[in-house]
Amino acid sequence: MKFWRRPLDIDEIKIPKGEVHIIKDRCKGCGFCVEYCPKEVLEISEEFNKMGYHPPYVKNPDNCLNCQLCEMLCPDFAIYCIEKEEEGIIA
């Protein structure tokens, strides 16, 4: 990330990293998570789940910042984020 001025607390701020988990068989393929992921982590996959929908898959796992918007926007409780154990990258 580029800054015009170097923020004073930049050493203390860590950008969190998230890990997206998809419970494929709960998904009904509405596409909300894919559409509204701010970092374009997800994409609809080609595979079918047991209900015949196309669940999303994690396309760009490294982009995830653990904002949990996908978790909140899932009507089927099929996706969730957990914070990665490892240290976030300092800008």
Least distance between another protein and beta carbon 65 (Å): 15
Half-sphere exposure of 30 (CA within 13 A, CB side): 13
* Residue whose CB is less far from another protein, 7 or 75: 75
12-31 residues near another protein, rule: CB under 8 A:
21, 23-26, 28-31
Half-sphere exposure of 18 (CA within 13 A, CB side): 22
Least distance between another protein and beta carbon 15 (Å): 20
Least distance between another protein and beta carbon 10 (Å): 26
Nearest 5°: CA angle at 4, between 3 and 10?
40
